[in-house]
């Protein structure tokens, strides 16, 4: 375990809150201090820390790895920020992109042609963790002259098959 300033400050806050709570039950300072000291790690690691992880949307950032991209599509969001920032895919051909990322999952719609645009490939990146997240991460890869010219990271509303069927029936 790495001791960070956040860990120290939050454990002090948990200790003070426990001490104040137990002080209302029993006025013996040494007993409330001892109980608070013993219970602080348990309350912190089993209540406070999980709650912070659920509410915050922090996730690990990873470097692009073709094998992980193909094998674990739900965790692609961990690689995309670094991939966009480093221009890893810019300038690559469609054939190379297919080898690295696999076949595109869907094509973008071109309203002017009223057809799918074969030069805009889309991939799902997964759902970032967080309690209040109702969007999935996606990436659109745009090609020009068979070479990648841009990556557009966007979010889409999560829809489930049952919801779609209910909306179609109405």
Q: What is the rounded average pLDDT for all residues in the chain?
A: 86
Query: How does residue 104 score in pLDDT terms, banded at 50, 70 and 90?
Result: very high
Q: Are the beta carbons of 136 and 127 closer than 8 angstroms?
A: yes
Instruction: Note the pLDDT of residue 34.
Output: 84
The mean pLDDT of 30-52, rounded to a whole number, is 83
Fold of 66-163: Beta-lactamase Inhibitory Protein; Chain:B, domain 1 (3.30.1450)
pLDDT over 90 (residue 147): yes
Instruction: Establish how many alpha carbons lie within 13 A of residue 58's alpha carbon, considering only the half-sphere containing its beta carbon.
Output: 7
Q: Are the beta carbons of 22 and 93 closer than 8 angstroms?
A: no
d(CA 119, CA 121): 6
Parse the chain into domains and list their residue ranges.
5-55, 66-163
């Amino acid at each position: 375990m790495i001791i960070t300033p956040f860990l120290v400050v939050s454990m002090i806050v948990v200790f003070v809150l426990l001490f104040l709570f137990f002080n209302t039950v029993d006025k013996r300072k040494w007993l409330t201090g001892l109980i608070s000291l013993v219970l602080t790690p348990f309350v912190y690691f089993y209540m406070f820390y999980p709650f912070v992880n659920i509410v915050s949307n922090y996730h690990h950032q990873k470097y692009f790895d073709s094998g992980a991209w193909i094998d674990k599509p739900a965790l692609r969001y961990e690689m995309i920020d670094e991939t966009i920032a480093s221009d890893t895919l810019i300038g690559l051909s469609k054939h190379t992109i297919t080898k690295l990322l696999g076949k595109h999952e869907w094509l973008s719609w071109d309203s002017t042609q009223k057809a799918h645009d074969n030069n805009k490939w889309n991939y799902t990146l997964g759902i970032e963790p967080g309690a209040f997240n109702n969007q999935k991460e996606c990436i659109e890869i745009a090609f020009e002259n068979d070479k990648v010219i841009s990556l557009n990271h966007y979010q889409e509303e999560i829809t489930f098959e049952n919801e779609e069927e209910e909306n179609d029936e109405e």
